[in-house]
Chains A and B, each alone.
Chain A
Amino acid sequence: MNRPGLNIPPSLLLILLWFTIGTSHASAQSVRQEQMEIYLHYACRETYRSMQLQEGDIDFLNYLDYKADTGCTGVVHVGFTLSPSEIWTFTADLGMMSDMRFSQMNISASRIVNNTGRYTSWGVSAGISAYPVYLNEFNEYHLLRDTGLMADLDANYRQETLYDPGLDLMPFLLYTKNRLSLKAGTGLRISSFMPFNLLIRQKKDGGNFRREIRYETLYKPALTSISTLHATLMLSDKPGLSVGLQAGAQLLFGMRSIPYKRTILTWTAGNRVTDKITPGSKPFTVTEVSAGIVIRF
């Protein structure tokens, strides 16, 4: 019985065999070099900026983690690292704060440039990152100042998530010996707080007077320094699946402010006054210390 579907020329079979062997050989090589990690960290993030006097206009950065119960903001990090070779490493990191949603995503690529010793090497890392922080109870500015008025008709707890996406570039040093690896780097980051809108509605207690204050914050890119330190200790160095412990620390420092446009509507929408306000830049730091487990395979 003639079966033309299986009638493959011997030369084509040889090509297919060569390709298959070549591919499996290549993947065997890449398995040896390729390394993946999944990690789970709990981080304690502290955002700090010195409180400015509220004599004039509101400065939103005064309300960073304002009146927070704990000393720092808890962040759960889940990340994935892919090292296709010893030179390149790609990392995607998701961060979740107390609102139980992933509001932070950091993506970075790092490359080993040169080995400086038997166990040490240096490289460069670049990536995009966002460090969301909470602005709490910013309406207190009006509650304290606008006496004689119901200063905020919104009785809800006022909280805004402030995102700070940016691009960072960082040279780093890597020390690897046996099951321990240390990575330390410092570099620059350019970022801007994401604009947000806020509305404060006011009414005179025992009167008809009504006022509405609309805030629209504006982009203002800022240059900050970023420094990191990461330590990984693998509990076993067997090939295949292995588990380890990780710890890290990160510090961001820069001079930051949030400029904004303020529109005050008095009695009616037509009676409005708009001002652009730029609070002075002041030192701003984000410190994060984290620890967790890593699974390498």
Chain B
Amino acid sequence: MKVFRKILIILLIANLVRIIPGCCDCDGPATFFSFNKTGITNLDNSGIFPQSSASDTMRAAAVAFEVSLYDSTGYWYYAALPAKSGAGFSRATAMSCDCAYPMQARAHLTNISITTLFPISDQIAAGAEVSGLFAASLRGNYAGDGVYITPEMLCSQTENKIYYDSGIESFGLFLKPEVQSANARFVMRFTLSDGITLTDTTALITIRP
């Protein structure tokens, strides 16, 4: 009987010890990745807030795109991996450790250059550099909070930025002047701090008044 009680005490102590390191350790080191791929989708910004759109038709005053910069090797899948645990000694936690996975880009965005392939108005001809005619907004701020930010501010906020769960820099670009042509299309160049430039072209947009 005494042996049984001793075993119970030892088991109790062992379980109590599990609680001591039982807090989720979410302060893991950031995993580095590289922006080497771009994706551009159309935005429908005719309403209160922008929404992704499969249509290639936009209102003349609401030409907008969503840009994503990411790592083609898919580092964001790291977030789905199970957390490593000590062999033979699992921690006791009240709930599963839902830690966000920190990621950091090796090179951040330094410049956005946009060239129009169609004339926007009589003053803005095809081939013109029009990045100054765009305003930007971070994807998390699409719900209509406040005004836009400049592309320069957008670039500066990517410096030393920690991305949680997905190494994707996603933002919207909104053309300020009304397009007077029947079509619109833009070539976008994204320069990174390591000198690499990523280039992508928007879909051919049909403008409706």
Contact = CB atoms under 8 A, between A and B. Distances in A.
Asked if chains A and B come from one complex, the reply is: yes
A153 B48 contact: yes
Interface string A100-141: 000000000000000000000000000000000000000000
Contacts of B135: 208, 210, 267-268
B132 to A, nearest CB: 12
A203 B59 CA distance: 14
A205 to B, nearest CB: 7
Contact of A207 (B61, B147, B150): B61
Contacts, number: 55
A139 to B, nearest CB: 15
Residue among B64, B135, B147, B178 with the most chain A CB within 10 A?
B147
A211 B147 contact: yes
B149 interface: yes
A19 interface: no
B46 interface: yes
B48 A268 contact: no
Interface string B122-164: 0000000000000100000000111111100100000000000
B176 A267 contact: yes
Interface in B31-89: 45-46, 48, 59, 61-64
Interface string B82-119: 00000000000000000000000000000000000000
Interface residues of A, number: 19
Contacts of A270: 150
Contact of B46 (A205, A212, A268, A269): A205
Interface string A245-271: 000000000000000000001111110
A145 interface: no
B202 to A, nearest CB: 15
B149 A269 contact: yes
B61 A204 contact: yes
Contacts of B178: 207
Given A153-B144, A203-B48, A208 B175 contact: yes
A208 B176 contact: yes
Contacts of A207: 45-46, 59, 61-62, 178
Q: Which 3 A-B pairs have the closest CB atoms?
A: A207-B61, A208-B174, A206-B46
